[in-house]
Amino acid sequence: MARNKIVVGCQWGDEGKGKVVDLLAAEADIVARFQGGANAGHTIVIGDRQYILHLIPSGIIHPGKECYIGNGVVMDPFALKEELDLLTGKGIDWRGRLFVSPATNLVLPYHKLIEDVQERSRGAANLGTTRRGIGPAYVDKVARHGIRVIDLLAPERLRKKLDYQRIIKATYLEGSDDERADLNRTYDDLMGLVDMLAPLVVDVSLALRRAVAAGKSILFEGAQGCLLDVDLGTYPFGTSSNTTVGGALTGLGVGPHMIDEVIGVVKAYTTRVGAGPFPTELIDKTGEQLRNIGREFGASTGRPRRCGWLDLVVLRHSIGVNGVDAIAVTKLDVLDGLDEIKVCTAYQLDEQTIDEVPLDLYRLDEVKPVYRTFPGWRTETTGITTFDGLPTNAREYLGFIADDLKVKIALVSTGAKRTETIVV
Ligand code: GDP
Ligand code: IMO
Ligand code: MG
C-alpha cells in the first residue's frame, strides 16, 4: 500500500523542509503544494548544485515526479514563469509534470503594491512580510473578488474582474505612477502567459484521487511553519494561510484518509524572519554564531534570520495541532562548535511556570524561557549518516527532544546536501 506523507514546518519556517521533501520525494510519485506562495524559499542542495524553489514543489528536481500546485496556494504567475525559466536553464525538464488547480488564486502586481503601502503605513509596527503580495491576495480570495488561474482562460471575465479591482482598490491605484497600478498592462502581461499556463491547468483534487486509486503515493509539501499559521500561529505576526496539516485538505481538495503520516520538520535550534514574538531569541554572540554557521539568511529575501535556542513549548504546540507522527531534525551540525546547548522546556509567566503556550499568544512576548542546559559535543557531525556515528552528547540531545515531544525521529540532517542525512 502506498503511503502518503505530509511534511510541515514546526517552527517559524525555514526548518529545512525543502531538503526533507527532496529526500522523501525519492520514494513518492507525486509532490503537492497546498498553501502559501512565493513567500516560501525551499533550498535543495545536490552535490555542488543549489536550487531554491518558491512556488514549484520541491519534487520537480527529481526526474519523472509529478508536481501539483493546489487551490490553497496563491500563485504569482510571473514568479512562476521566472522559476520555470530558471529550472529550464538548469536542465530540468518540467514539461508535462507540473499541474495547477483552476481555483488557485493569483498574486498580481497590485497585490505587491498594496502590501508595500500597508507595510510602510504600519511604521515601526510592520509585520516584516516578504512583500510577495501574499496577504493582499488571500484577502481578495476570502472577500470573493480574487482572480483565479481559470480566469486567464476566459479573457472577458478577466477583463471584468480587473475593472472591478480598479473600483475597489481605487485608494491604492488611482493616480499612482507605480507601474504595478496599471491594470491594462497587467491584463496584457497576463495574456502573454496564457500559452504557458493553459496546459498546466487540471482538476488537482480529481487527479490526486485517481493517482492514489492507481497505487501512486503523494508527498504533501508544506510551506512556512506552524507558528506562522494564520489561525494557530503568532497572529498577526505570521502569514495568511493555514500552514498546518488541515491546509493540505482544503488546499488540494482531498480527504483526511489521504494522509498516512505527518512529518514535522524541526531545526535543531530556532529561527524566524520578520517581526513578532520569539521567546528563545539570542541577541548576543551565540545568536550571531548560529546565524553565521547556519547561514541563516532568508532564501527568498536575503534578510538575516533571528536565531535562538530550541523551544520545546512551541514544539509541543506544533506537534499537537499537526498531529505529528515523527520529526525530521535538521541542521544538527550547526551546533557542533558550541560548549553548551540550551533547550527551553517551559516558560515563566505571571510568576507561574507553564509548559504549554499561553492562551493569549500575544503574551509569548512576555514569557521568560526556562532552560535545560546540555553539554556540547564539540566534534564535527557534518555528513554523518548513521545515528550511532553521532557523538554521545548529540544522541542525548536528540533523545531528550524525542522523549519530551513523544515522537519518533524519522531523520536527522547533518548538512545541506542530500547525502548528509541520517535515516533513522
Ligand atoms: P525551508 O524553507 O524549510 O525549505 O528551509 P530553507 O531552505 O529556507 O532554509 C534551510 C537552509 O538550511 C537552506 O540553506 C538549506 O540548504 C540548509 N540546510 C538544510 N539542512 C541542513 C543541515 O542539516 N545542515 C546545514 N548546515 N544546513 C542545512
Ligand atoms: P518557508 O516556506 C520563513 C514570514 C515573513 C513574515 C511573515 C509574513 O521558506 O519556510 P508573508 O510574506 O507570508 O505575508 O510574511 O511570515 N514568512 C516566512 N518566514 N520562511 C518562510 O517560508 C516564510 N514565509 C513567510 O518573514 O514574518
Ligand atoms: Mg525557507
Sorting pLDDT into bands at 50, 70 and 90, what band is 298? Answer: confident
Any ligand 1 atom below 6 A from CB of 296: no
pLDDT tens, residue by residue, 148-176: 999 999 999 999 999 999 999 999 999 99
The rounded Å distance from CA 298 to ligand 3 centre is 7
Closest CA to 263 of 231, 298, 219: 219
pLDDT tens, residue by residue, 353-369: 999 999 999 999 999 99
Can you tell me the mean pLDDT for 116-130?
95
Ligand nearest to the CA of 224: 2
Q: Give the three cell numbers for residue 61.
A: 528536481
Any ligand 2 atom below 6 A from CB of 134: yes
Q: Which of 12, 114, 115, 224 to mutate to test the pocket of ligand 2 (most atoms within 8 A of CB)?
A: 224
Q: Residue holding cell 502559501?
A: 36
- In percent, the amount of the chain with pLDDT more than 90 equals 98
pLDDT tens, residue by residue, 269-288: 999 999 999 999 999 999 99
Sorting pLDDT into bands at 50, 70 and 90, what band is 299? Answer: confident
The rounded Å distance from CA 68 to ligand 2 centre is 21
Beta bridge partners of 271: 307
pLDDT tens, residue by residue, 211-229: 999 999 999 999 999 999 9
pLDDT tens, residue by residue, 11-23: 999 999 999 999 9
- With helix as H, strand as E and coil as C, how does 239-293 read? CCCCCCCHHHHHHHCCCHHHCCEEEEEEECCEEECCCCCCCCECCCHHHHHHHHH
Any ligand 1 atom below 6 A from CB of 72: no
Q: Give the three cell numbers for residue 417.
A: 546536501
Where on the phi/psi map is residue 285: left (φ > 0), alpha (ψ -120 to 50), or beta?
alpha
pLDDT of residue 2: 56
Q: How would you label 126-149 residue by residue, b for 16+ Cβ within 10 Å and e otherwise? A: ebbbbebbbbbbbebbeeeebbbb
Sorting pLDDT into bands at 50, 70 and 90, what band is 314? Answer: very high
pLDDT of residue 1: 52
What integer best gives the mean pLDDT of the chain?
97
pLDDT tens, residue by residue, 80-97: 999 999 999 999 999 999
Sorting pLDDT into bands at 50, 70 and 90, what band is 40? Answer: very high
